[in-house]
């Protein structure tokens, strides 16, 4: 993998970076020169850094996700994103590699379409105003999320980190786009997967039980918790730990049966859970109807 930075220059007070990037199409790589400017950090975390920049050729805003690349392996996120093409999934435009401060350090840079808002920020805005998100918006966002999930599940991909922060929104059009495929994976029946995946409030119970043979249904659970959060104005299953999380789930859905526990993780089938009846959904969601 060659480091593909060509130049950095200052033009009219704007720093312009030019790189040799690959067009993000599945198949043979086609390399082109890409110039961008006005770069600034808009997000960071354990995954790396996200920059907002503008393509010089058309002034189009883009997000550049920069992650450390292990030279021994192919990047799973890149391999998956090159396969995806859907109106409700953020588009990968180009990608390129760059060096780091340390010797032999290599970074993968994903140039993605930029979508300015997230469902998380929209929900927080309404919460601060002590208002509920209009039901029409909840329906609009959830319909588009499930369209995206139907598409990726149809080709065998599980996102594994559905949460409001990963749901981008164009406020002008109302279009939702699913982003951040850093945890995504092709699920193969019989092949074990890590159980510590997905953000806590949105984790399916089988993940809390340590299951390693889960299916795409964990995304559906997460999507359901997102919908409940939009209706309630707060997470439906908040918890400070895995145990707390499970308690919150049981408070609403009741104690799981032995058969349900067996299907999630046979090691827990004899565990004694407090016997709690399911809470009626009309009462759970009553605050959303006021």
> From the centroid of its chain, how far is CA 182?
7
- Asked if residue 130 has pLDDT above 80, the reply is yes
CB 127 within 8 A of CB 233: yes
- Asked if residue 272 has pLDDT above 80, the reply is no
Please name the fold of domain 5-113. Phosphorylase Kinase; domain 1 (3.30.200)
- Asked if residue 211 has pLDDT above 60, the reply is yes
pLDDT for the residue numbered 11:
58
- Asked if residue 260 has pLDDT above 90, the reply is no
> From the centroid of its chain, how far is CA 216?
14
- The CATH number of 117-289 is which of 3.60.20.40, 3.10.20.30, 3.40.640.10, 1.10.510.10? 1.10.510.10
- Asked if residue 12 has pLDDT above 60, the reply is no
Query: CATH 1.10.510.10 region(s) of the chain?
Result: 117-289
Percent of the chain with pLDDT over 90: 67
How long a stretch of residues is the chain? Answer: 290
pLDDT for the residue numbered 126:
96
SS3 assignment, position 123: helix
Q: 223: Cβ–Cβ under 8 A, 6 or more apart, which residues?
A: 142, 145, 146, 149, 162
Q: Which two tokens stand for residue 57?
A: 């050729």
Distance CA 264, CA 248 (A): 17
pLDDT for the residue numbered 124:
96
From the candidates 29, 70, 161, 240, give the one annotated as an active-site residue.
161
SS3 assignment, position 12: coil
Please give the backbone phi and psi of residue 142, each rounded to the nearest 5 degrees, phi first.
Answer: -70, -40
The CA dihedral of 187, 189, 191, 197, to the nearest 10 degrees, is 40
Average pLDDT of span 231-260: 89
Each residue's pLDDT tens digit, 150-207:
999 999 999 999 999 999 999 999 999 999 999 999 999 999 999 999 999 999 999 9
Under the banding of pLDDT at 50, 70 and 90, the label for residue 277 is: confident
Query: What DSSP designation does 266 have?
Result: G
pTM for the model stands at 0.89
pLDDT for the residue numbered 71:
82
* Mean of pLDDT over the chain: 89
Each residue's pLDDT tens digit, 228-241:
999 999 999 998 88
SS3 assignment, position 160: coil
pLDDT for the residue numbered 1:
46
Query: What DSSP designation does 203 have?
Result: -
The closest alpha carbon to 49, from 39, 58, 61, 41, belongs to: 41
- Asked if residue 2 has pLDDT above 50, the reply is no
Each residue's pLDDT tens digit, 59-76:
999 999 999 998 888 899
Query: CATH 3.30.200.20 region(s) of the chain?
Result: 5-113
pLDDT for the residue numbered 104:
84
CB 236 within 8 A of CB 245: no
Under the banding of pLDDT at 50, 70 and 90, the label for residue 270 is: low
Each residue's pLDDT tens digit, 20-43:
999 877 666 789 999 999 789 998
CB 16 within 8 A of CB 33: no
Distance CA 219, CA 204 (A): 8
The closest alpha carbon to 216, from 132, 155, 261, belongs to: 155
Under the banding of pLDDT at 50, 70 and 90, the label for residue 282 is: confident
14-23 vs 31-45, strand pairing mode: antiparallel
- Asked if residue 5 has pLDDT above 80, the reply is no
SS3 assignment, position 10: strand
Higher-confidence residue of 233 and 281: namely 233
Is 71 marked as a binding-site residue? Answer: no
Q: Contacts from 16-20 at CB under 8 Å and sequence distance 24+?
A: 16/56, 19/96, 19/98, 19/109, 20/96
pLDDT for the residue numbered 118:
97
Distance CA 93, CA 21 (A): 10
Question: Strand ranges (DSSP E) for the chain?
Answer: 5-11, 14-23, 31-45, 48-55, 61-68, 92-99, 106-113, 117-118, 157-158, 167-169, 176-178, 185-186
Higher-confidence residue of 245 and 146: namely 146
Residue 219 annotated as catalytic: no
């Amino acid at each position: 993998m060659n480091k593909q930075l060509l130049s950095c220059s200052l033009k009219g007070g704007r720093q312009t970076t030019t790189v040799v990037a690959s067009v993000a199409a599945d198949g043979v790589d086609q390399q082109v020169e890409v110039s961008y400017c006005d770069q600034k950090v808009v997000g960071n975390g354990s995954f790396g850094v996200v920059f907002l920049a503008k393509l010089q050729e058309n002034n189009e805003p883009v997000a550049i996700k920069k992650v450390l690349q292990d030279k021994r392996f192919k990047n799973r996120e890149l391999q998956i994103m090159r396969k995806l093409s859907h109106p409700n999934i953020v588009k990968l435009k180009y990608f390129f590699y760059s060096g780091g401060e340390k010797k032999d350090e290599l970074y993968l840079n994903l140039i993605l379409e930029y979508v300015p808002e997230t469902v998380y920020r929209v929900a927080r805005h309404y919460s601060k105003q002590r208002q509920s998100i209009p039901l029409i918006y909840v329906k609009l966002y959830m319909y588009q999320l499930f369209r995206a999930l139907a598409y990726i599940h149809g080709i065998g991909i599980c996102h594994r980190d559905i949460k409001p922060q990963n749901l981008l929104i164009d406020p002008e059009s109302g279009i939702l786009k699913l982003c951040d495929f850093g945890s995504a994976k092709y699920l193969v029946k019989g092949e074990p997967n890590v159980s510590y995946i997905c953000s806590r409030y949105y984790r399916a119970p089988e993940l809390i039980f340590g299951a390693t043979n889960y299916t795409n249904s964990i995304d559906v659970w997460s999507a359901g918790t997102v919908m409940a959060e939009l209706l309630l104005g707060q997470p439906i299953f908040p918890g400070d730990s895995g145990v707390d999380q499970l308690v919150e789930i049981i408070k609403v859905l009741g104690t799981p049966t032995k058969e349900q526990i067996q299907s999630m993780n046979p090691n827990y089938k004899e565990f004694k859970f407090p016997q709690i009846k399911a809470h009626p959904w009309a009462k759970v969601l009553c605050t959303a109807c006021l």
